[in-house]
Structure 1
Amino acid sequence: MSRRTALWATGGTVAAGGSLASAAALGRASGKEAAGVEVGGALKIGYLPITDSAPLLLAHKQGLYTQHGISVAKPVMFRSWSSLTEAFISGTVDVIHLLMPMAVYLKYDVGADAQIVAWNHVNGSAFTVAPSIVETAQLAGKTVAIPGWFSIHNILVQKILREAGLTPVIRKTADADRGEVALVVMAPSDMIPALANGTIAGFTVADPFNAAAVASKVGRIHRFMGDVWRDHACCVTLMRGSLIEQHSEVAQNFTNALVEAQIFAREHRKEAAKILSDNFLPQKPKAIERAMTDHLSEHRDAVKNPSWGGQLLQFQPYPYASFTEELVVHMRETLMDAPTDFLNKLDPVSVHRDLVNEELVTQAIASVGGFGVFGQSGTTRQEQIDGETTSGVTP
C-alpha cells in the first residue's frame, strides 16, 4: 500500500512524482523514532489548531511535562489531518491528538506503530449550516464538508442526514429531487470561507470553527454532535507503541501530565482559552473562549437531549471499551471514499485490547484522585446514541 492510500482517509494527497513508501515500511520507521528518547531527545507533539488539542498544549505551557521529569519540545501546528497523520507515520512527531476512527485506520490498514493512551476530550463538535438552513431536509441537493472520512463527524452527520430521509453521496453532484447530499473532505481552516461563499451548505468539525462561524454570522449550529452520541470520544491521544514499550516511565509521566491538564481545562475554562489563544491557536480569542464554555441557552433548538450536556466540550481521559466496540460497528455502516475492507476483518473487542493502552491512563487517573474527578464512576459504561439501542458494555 502506498502513502497515497494511507492519506485517503483524510482526503490528503501526495505531490506527483513524490516518493511512495509502503505502509508497512512507514509503520516500522515510525517505531524506530522512539530511540531518540533514549539519547535525551525531547518528545515531539503535533496538533491541529482546534480546541480538541487543548490538553496536550496546556500541559506544555503550564510546565506539567517538566514537572513530571520529561522533555517535550514546543508543540508543532499542522493545518490538516493529512499532514498531521503523515508526520506521525514518518516519525516527525511522537505524539498527536487524532480522530479516533482515523486511529483505527492507521493501526489496521496503514500498519502504523500506534497506541491510544487516553481520550483527549469528549464532545466539542457540531454540525454548522448556512443561516438559511433551518431544517435538515433543506440540505437536499447541497454539499456538506467533513474533516475526514474516518471521523466521528462523518459517522454522525450521515446519521443525521439519513434520519431526515436524505441520502449521503460521494464523488457526484447531489440530486435534490432524490434527496441526496454530497459529502466532501475539507481542511477545518477552509470550512468557514467555503460556507461563506456558498461552496458548501454546511460542515461538521471540532471547535472553535463552529463557534467562529456563529460569531461571524456565517453559520448557525444545527446540532451538537455530543447530543447525537453522548460523551463520545472525538480526538484521542496517540503515541508510538515502541515508545511505550521501550520507555514506559516516559510514557507514564507524559500521560500523568496530560490527565492533570485535562483537570485544569475543566476547572479553568476561560483561563485555558486565553492560554490557547495567546500561544497556540490562531482563531480570535472570543471564538476560542466561546468554544471552551457553555452556551446552551443560545442553542436550545440544536439540542434534543439537554441532560447529556452534549453542547459542551468536555475533558475526560478514560478510553471506554464499549465506545471502541460500538465505534467499529458504526464505521462499517458509514459511507466512505476510502479503503474500508479491513473493517470487516476486525473484531471490535480485540480492537480495543490491541489499540488502546488502558494501563497508563488508569494509573494517571488514580494519581489525581480517581474517576470521580472527571464525573465518572468506573471503567464501564453504556453507550447512549440518539434513537438507537446499543449492545451494552464489555465486562
Structure 2
Amino acid sequence: MHHSTVRRSLLKKTLAGLGCALLLSPLSLQIAHAADPEKEELKLGFIKLTDMAPLAIAYEKGFFEDEGLYVTLEAQANWKVLLDRVITGELDGAHMLAGQPLGATIGFGTKAEVVTAFSMDLNGNGITMSNAVWEEMKKHVPMADGKPVHPIKADALKPVIEQYKAKGKPFNLGMVFPVSTHNYELRYWLAAGGINPGYYAPAKGDITGTLNADALLSVTPPPQMPATLEAGTISGYSVGEPWNQAAVFKGIGVPVITDYEIWKNNPEKVLGVSKAWADANPETHKRLVKALIRAGMWLDANGNANRKEAVEILSRPEYVGADAKVIANSMTGTFEYEKGDKREVPDFNVFFRYNATYPYYSDAIWYLTQMRRWGQIGEAKPDSWYLDIAKQVYLPAVYQSAASELVAEGKAKAEDFPASSEEGFRAPSNEFIDGLTYDGRKPNEYINQFKIGLKPDSVL
C-alpha cells in the first residue's frame, strides 16, 4: 500500500474517532464553510532532478495532506512522456520545464493548453565539458592563484570548436529538451562567446535546431548525460543537478559554469497542469500551490538549515536516487567545478527567496524571446503577443489566492510574498553573462540586441 493511502486511512479513522466533538468545534465550522477540493487523490509526475524537491518535501512533511490532498509522486522517463501524460490526464500535474507550458500553448512540438500558477525554483543548472575539451579550453581561461577565474565564458570554447571544424568533426553537445531552460542557457552562453548554436526552422520542417550551427545541440535525458559524455557521443552538456556534480565524482568531466552565472536568479521549473484540469479543479489547484509554497519556504528557511535533511530525502531511490554526497555538493550552497575546486554558491538552488515561487509574466516572456531568437517561433510578433501568451499560461491570481490563505492561517507572513498590486514583471535586469538588459515589457527591443540570433522581423 502506498504511503499516502496508509496515511489517509489513519486520518479517516482519527476523524471518525473524534466524531461529534469535532463537529461542534469552531474549527469544524471553518472547515464546513471552506470549499472542498474537487479532487482529493492526485498523481503528480517528476523527473529525477534535485529541483523536484518541493514535491518531495510537500509529500514527506505532510503539506499536501494539510490541504486535504492525497498525492502519489511518480518519476517519468523523460520530459516528452511527462508532458504527454499531463495533457492526456494520466497525471494531474507535474514538475515541468518552464518552457513546456509555453511551448505547448504556442504549438511548438506538442500543441495543447498547459498552465502554471507556481514557479518551483531559481537556478540549479550547469554546463559540463569532457575532460579533453576542458584541457583545451583551459589554455584560454584567465587564471588567478592557480585556479580558473569565474565566470568562464564560451570565448574559451571557440578555439576548441574551430579545431574540430578544421578536422571536419562535428562538436556535439547535449541538452534535455528543445524548450528547456538548459537549451536556452546553453545557447545563450555559446552565442555570448561568438558560437552559433543553430536555428530551428519549423516552417521548413527542420526542428533539429542545427541550421547554420557551429555546435550541434541534441536531446539527452538528464540521468543519461554522464554516460553519454563518457561514451564520447557528446563533448559536453547542459543539465540540472545532480548530473553535473556526477561528472565530477566520476572523473569524466568538468562543470565550467552554472546558470546562476549565465543569468542570475533565472526561473527554472514550474508546476504544470492542463488548462482543462485547472478549470475543472480550481480549489484543488489552489491547495496544491499552498502545499508547494510551504515546501519552498521549508527548503529555504533559516539560511538553508533544512538542506541536509532535504538531501537525505532526495537521495532516496523513489526521488532522485543519486548518492547523497553528489546531491549535497550543490544543494547545500556549494558547487564543485574542477575536482577539488569547490566554491561557495549559496544561491545555486533557490526555492523561495527572491519571490522564486511567483509566476511572473516577465519570466514567461523571456522564454518566448529565446524561442523567437532561435526560430522556434518562426515569424515576427508584436510585444503585445508576448504578454498575451504569458497571461494565457501564467496564473498569478491562483498563486496570490493561495498565498493570502497561508497568511490568514498564520503559516506565512504577508511580506514573504509580492504585493497584491504586483503586475507580473520583475524589474529590468542586466545580470546576464553578456551584460545585456532584459525588460519583459519590451521583448522585441531585447531580441534586437543580440549579435547572434534572429532579429524580431527575420524569417528563415
TM-score range for the pair, normalised by the shorter chain length: 0.7 to 0.9
Residue aligning to 2:114: 114
After the TM superposition, which residues 217-232 of structure 1 pair with which residues of structure 2 at under 5 Å, given as runs? 217-232=251-266
Of residues 326, 337, 342, the one that matches 1:287 is 326
> Is contact 1:59-1:261 (8 Å) kept?
yes
Residue aligning to 2:21: none
SS at match of 1:75: strand
Of residues 426, 436, 442, the one that matches 1:389 is 436
Answer yes or no: is 1:333 the counterpart of 2:367: no
> Is contact 2:174-2:219 (8 Å) kept?
yes
Residue aligning to 2:65: 66
**Distance in 2 between residues matched to 1:165 and 1:99, nearest whole Å:** 27
Q: Match of 2:401, as an amino acid?
A: Q
1:371–1:276: structure 2 CA closer, same or farther, 3 Å change rule?
farther
Answer yes or no: is 1:216 the counterpart of 2:255: no
SS at match of 2:218: strand
**Distance in 2 between residues matched to 1:75 and 1:102, nearest whole Å:** 19
Residue aligning to 1:82: 80
> Is contact 2:222-2:243 (8 Å) kept?
yes
Answer yes or no: is 1:312 the counterpart of 2:348: yes
**Distance in 1 between residues matched to 2:86 and 2:189, nearest whole Å:** 32
> Is contact 1:227-1:311 (8 Å) kept?
no
**Distance in 2 between residues matched to 1:364 and 1:300, nearest whole Å:** 43
Answer yes or no: is 1:47 the counterpart of 2:86: no
1:302–1:353: structure 2 CA closer, same or farther, 3 Å change rule?
farther
Residue aligning to 1:369: 413
1:335–1:222: structure 2 CA closer, same or farther, 3 Å change rule?
farther
> Is contact 1:51-1:208 (8 Å) kept?
yes
Of residues 152, 158, 164, the one that matches 2:181 is 152
After the TM superposition, which residues 289-304 of structure 1 pair with which residues of structure 2 at under 5 Å, given as runs? 289-295=328-334
**Distance in 2 between residues matched to 1:242 and 1:295, nearest whole Å:** 41
Task: List per-residue Cα deviations over 1:226-275 (Å, max 9, x = no partner).
Answer: 21112111111112323332332211111000000011112311111111
Tell me how far 1:206 sits from its aligned partner: 0.9
> Is contact 1:56-1:261 (8 Å) kept?
yes
Higher deviation after alignment, 317-326 or 117-126:
317-326
> Is contact 2:192-2:433 (8 Å) kept?
no
Residue aligning to 1:103: 101
Q: Match of 2:250, as an amino acid?
A: S
Tell me how far 1:381 sits from its aligned partner: 2.6
**Distance in 1 between residues matched to 2:340 and 2:347, nearest whole Å:** 11
Residue aligning to 1:257: 291
1:111–1:297: structure 2 CA closer, same or farther, 3 Å change rule?
closer
Tell me how far 1:59 sits from its aligned partner: 0.5
Task: List per-residue Cα deviations over 1:336-381 (Å, max 9, x = no partner).
Answer: 6xxx43885881111221111102222334422135479xx96533
> Is contact 2:178-2:219 (8 Å) kept?
yes
> Is contact 1:108-1:342 (8 Å) kept?
no
For the pair shown, the structure with the greater C-alpha radius of gyration is 2
After the TM superposition, which residues 200-211 of structure 1 pair with which residues of structure 2 at under 5 Å, given as runs? 200-211=234-245
Higher deviation after alignment, 86-95 or 242-251:
242-251
Q: Match of 1:102, as an amino acid?
A: Q
SS at match of 1:98: strand
Identity level (%): 21
Higher deviation after alignment, 110-119 or 90-99:
110-119
1:300–1:386: structure 2 CA closer, same or farther, 3 Å change rule?
farther
Residue aligning to 1:349: 387
Residue aligning to 1:17: none
1:199–1:100: structure 2 CA closer, same or farther, 3 Å change rule?
same
Runs of at least 4 residues of structure 1 off by over 6 A? 299-303
Residue aligning to 1:23: none
**Distance in 2 between residues matched to 1:146 and 1:200, nearest whole Å:** 10
1:272–1:291: structure 2 CA closer, same or farther, 3 Å change rule?
same
> Is contact 1:212-1:287 (8 Å) kept?
yes
Task: List per-residue Cα deviations over 1:32-85 (Å, max 9, x = no partner).
Answer: xxxxx74x551110000001211012111211110111222x201012111111
1:94–1:139: structure 2 CA closer, same or farther, 3 Å change rule?
farther
1:237–1:152: structure 2 CA closer, same or farther, 3 Å change rule?
same
**Distance in 1 between residues matched to 2:76 and 2:259, nearest whole Å:** 24
**Distance in 2 between residues matched to 1:107 and 1:299, nearest whole Å:** 40
For structure 1, list consecutive stretches of 5 or more residues without a partner in the other structure. 1-36
1:343–1:90: structure 2 CA closer, same or farther, 3 Å change rule?
farther
Task: Give the CA RMSD over aligned residues.
Answer: 3.2
For structure 2, list consecutive stretches of 5 or more residues without a partner in the other structure. 1-36, 138-155, 165-170, 200-205, 407-411, 443-460
TM-score (norm 1): 0.78
TM-score (norm 2): 0.68
SS at match of 2:271: strand
1:352–1:130: structure 2 CA closer, same or farther, 3 Å change rule?
same
1:162–1:360: structure 2 CA closer, same or farther, 3 Å change rule?
same
Tell me how far 1:179 sits from its aligned partner: 8.5
> Is contact 2:52-2:95 (8 Å) kept?
yes
**Distance in 2 between residues matched to 1:199 and 1:149, nearest whole Å:** 18
Q: Match of 2:378, as an amino acid?
A: D
> Is contact 1:294-1:312 (8 Å) kept?
yes
SS at match of 1:209: coil
> Is contact 1:222-1:302 (8 Å) kept?
no
> Is contact 2:248-2:336 (8 Å) kept?
no
Tell me how far 1:120 sits from its aligned partner: 0.8
Task: List per-residue Cα deviations over 1:166-195 (Å, max 9, x = no partner).
Answer: 2224899x9xxx982111111112210111
**Distance in 1 between residues matched to 2:193 and 2:346, nearest whole Å:** 20
Residue aligning to 1:125: 125
